[in-house]
Amino acid sequence: MGYSTQSDFQILALASDAHASGVKKLQKKLALIETDISVHKDQIDALLSQASQFIDEGHFDAEGIRKKKEALVERYERLSVPANDQRERLEASCELQQFLRDVDDEIAWIKERESIATLPNRGMNLAGVQNLQKKHNALMAELSTHDPRIKAVREKGEGMIAGSKHHAEDIESKLSELAHLWNQIKETAESRKQVLEDSYEAQKYFSDALAAELWMKDIEPVVGSSDYGKDEDMAE
């Protein structure tokens, strides 16, 4: 029965190997062990059945056979517990790693757009402001479109916390970071929108004032002219 001992060590080795190998590799390894355990079930059942037969027939070493049978049952049942526990842990770890990758992707996405939302340029003229507003409106639309994706990732994390025994603190930490950055960029974008609106109003005023000044500059020579014509024809 060296088989049982070998499987015991294989299962226990998974825990120490977890930091050195990928979760996917460990899942495949555990699947092979579980298959191995399942394949040997018929062999174990046959041994147990044979032991029961020996005991029922009053074998001279019935007591020794009974003890060996009990040991086999206990040992085989004990294999399933760590295997199941390892599978749950590996599934949770795999789910966690995917979640962390998703959150990191969203954080990177936010930070890429943060540079646009925090631009200090307000535009030097009306056309410049309008160009900045066009770009910022595109950013606002992008944030709005991306909002469902952020919500989905957050809901996924919250569901993992509610339904998992493992990694709750790591998940909560990442959710907090994501929520902070998402709220921050939305607030920054709204603030930037208001800044550009104020800049537009100011540049619009200056543009209108310049147009008025140019008009007055054109009309002033006519209005200020002292030449009223020397006769009726010239006056007309």
What is the per-residue pLDDT for 229? 57
What is the per-residue pLDDT for 36? 76
Q: How far apart are CA 39 and CA 79, in angstroms?
A: 13
pLDDT digits (tens, 9 = 90+) for 38-83: 777 778 888 888 888 878 878 787 888 888 888 888 887 777 666 6
Q: For residue 27, what pLDDT band results from cuts at 50, 70 and 90?
A: low
Q: What is the mean pLDDT of residues 157-163?
A: 89
List CB contacts of 229: < 8 A, sequence separation 6 or more: 235, 236
Higher pLDDT, 48 or 133: 133
The model carries a pTM of: 0.64
CATH number of 2-221: 1.20.58.60
Q: How far apart are CA 171 and CA 38, in angstroms?
A: 35
Most confident of 30-44, 125-139, 159-173, 220-234: 125-139
How is the chain split into domains, by residue range? 2-221
Residue 17 corresponds to which amino acid?
D
Higher pLDDT, 44 or 208: 208
What is the per-residue pLDDT for 3? 46
